């Protein structure tokens, strides 16, 4: 196959459990050459507490196409287990879209059957801040400045944040906007 400036992944390396603070890469066995038949590789990504996982795939991607990806496929689950919620099952010629976990784990399984192998895949994972806040009590203030103060994002990085307000049963939650700054 054509070497596209990517180091070869040994055929014996099949599956990993990653618990690093930095991002990295993983790939199907032999990438960028054809993956071997009859393989099952499980990759488990674990982010630090209060982080989520972002997964992107190289354009150089090919997993044997089939209806509902029943033969060779890449299965991605949102959690640490093979029974965690299914994100999707991928195959074909187009690499999967950006995938973000809802928590700190992602479970990925690559499977190949006995025939029709392909290039496979190479994925890049990175750990991103989990921007969630929880408020409780009789009153409180929500400030967007909390996001930077608690290092939920890096300067210039887009982020979606969730504030959860917990109230006692039968209590009413009243929100009033005191100031709203818009950046364009």
Taking only the tens place, the pLDDT of each residue in 133-169 is 788 877 878 777 777 776 666 666 667 777 888 888 8
Query: Where exactly are the structural domains of the chain?
Result: 16-129, 132-166
The correct answer on CATH 2.60.120.290 for the domain covering 16-129 is yes
* Whether pLDDT at 76 is above 90: yes
Task: Give the model's pLDDT for residue 50.
Answer: 79
DSSP sequence for 126-171: EEEE--EEEEESS-----THHHHHTT-S-TT-----EEEEE--TT-
* Whether pLDDT at 54 is above 70: yes
The CA distances from residue 58 to 4, 27, 31, 96, 116, in Å, are: 11, 10, 11, 9, 21
Taking only the tens place, the pLDDT of each residue in 16-50 is 787 777 888 999 999 989 999 999 999 999 998 87
> What's the CA gap between 14 and 109, in Å, rounded?
10
* Whether pLDDT at 104 is above 80: yes
Taking only the tens place, the pLDDT of each residue in 2-11 is 433 444 444 4
Nearest to 51 by CA among 85, 18, 76, 16: 18
More confident residue, 178 or 60: 60
Q: Exposure string (b/e) for 133-151, b if CB count within 10 Å is 16 or more?
A: beeeeeeeeeeeeeeeeee
C-alpha dihedral, 45 to 48 to 50 to 54, nearest 10°: -30
Task: Give the model's pLDDT for residue 55.
Answer: 95
What pTM value is reported for the model? 0.69
Please list the helix, strand and coil fractions of the chain in percent, rounded to the nearest 5, in that order.
Answer: 5, 35, 60
Task: Give the model's pLDDT for residue 152.
Answer: 63
């Amino acid at each position: 196959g054509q070497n596209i400036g990517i180091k070869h992944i040994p055929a014996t390396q099949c599956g990993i459990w990653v618990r690093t603070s930095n991002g990295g890469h993983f790939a199907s066995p032999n990438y960028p050459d054809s993956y071997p038949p009859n393989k099952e590789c499980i990759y488990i990504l674990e982010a630090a507490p209060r982080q989520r996982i972002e997964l992107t795939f190289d354009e150089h991607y090919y997993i044997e196409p089939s209806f509902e990806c029943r033969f060779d496929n890449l299965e991605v689950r949102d959690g640490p287990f093979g029974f965690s919620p299914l994100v999707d099952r991928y195959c074909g010629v187009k690499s999967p879209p950006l995938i973000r976990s809802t928590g700190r784990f992602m479970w990925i399984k690559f499977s190949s059957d006995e025939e029709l192998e392909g290039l496979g895949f190479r994925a890049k994972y990175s750990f991103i801040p989990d921007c969630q806040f929880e408020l409780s009590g009789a009153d409180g203030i929500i400030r967007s400045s909390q996001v930077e103060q608690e290092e939920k994002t890096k300067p210039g990085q887009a982020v979606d944040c969730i504030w959860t307000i917990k109230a006692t049963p039968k209590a009413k939650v009243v929100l009033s906007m005191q100031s709203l700054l818009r950046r364009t």
